Amino acid sequence: MRRLWRDLVTRARETPNGFASFSEPEQHYFAVGLLEGEVYNGGFDQYFFNSSGDHYRYAVEGLEAMGAPQALGLLRQAKQVVFGFDEPERDTERRRAFLRSSVDESHSKRLNSLDSLFWKDPDSLGAKFEQFAKNRGLVSVA
């Protein structure tokens, strides 16, 4: 799994079309990996603030495909707290400007609560992540 992740990160950064050149399963795997890493590191606030939030739609699709309804629900709730019924801006700088101007202490408290629920890993996301990679042929099954 580590090798797959390193390969995707390298391809996202160093190939001309980066993420856009990934297959759909690779996009889902990558987007969910970004989500998980950001939320465990700094919470949903960090996820939406950083460029990882550009891939929100793919993270939603990936969690659906992985069968992770709890994590998906938490992600959608976090999106609702910050963006309401609107989709997050796909442009990082515009999304950051929005976050700087609209997120207050009330939002932060609600996001912190969702972070704590995500950290409890109600879907055993790591196992689903690994199984998804195997089932979609992203890694060889030995």
Q: Are the C-beta atoms of 138 and 29 separated by less than 8 Å?
A: yes
Do the domain assignments include residue 141?
no
What total of structural domains would you count in the chain?
Answer: 1
Do the domain assignments include residue 142?
no
Do the domain assignments include residue 140?
no
Distances (CA, A) of 104 to 86, 110, 112, 139: 18, 10, 12, 42
- In this predicted structure, what is the pLDDT of residue 68? 98
- In this predicted structure, what is the pLDDT of residue 65? 98
Domain of residue 25, residue span: 2-135
Residue appearing with tokens 């910050």: 82
Do the domain assignments include residue 43?
yes
**Residues of the chain predicted below pLDDT 70:** 142
Do the domain assignments include residue 54?
yes
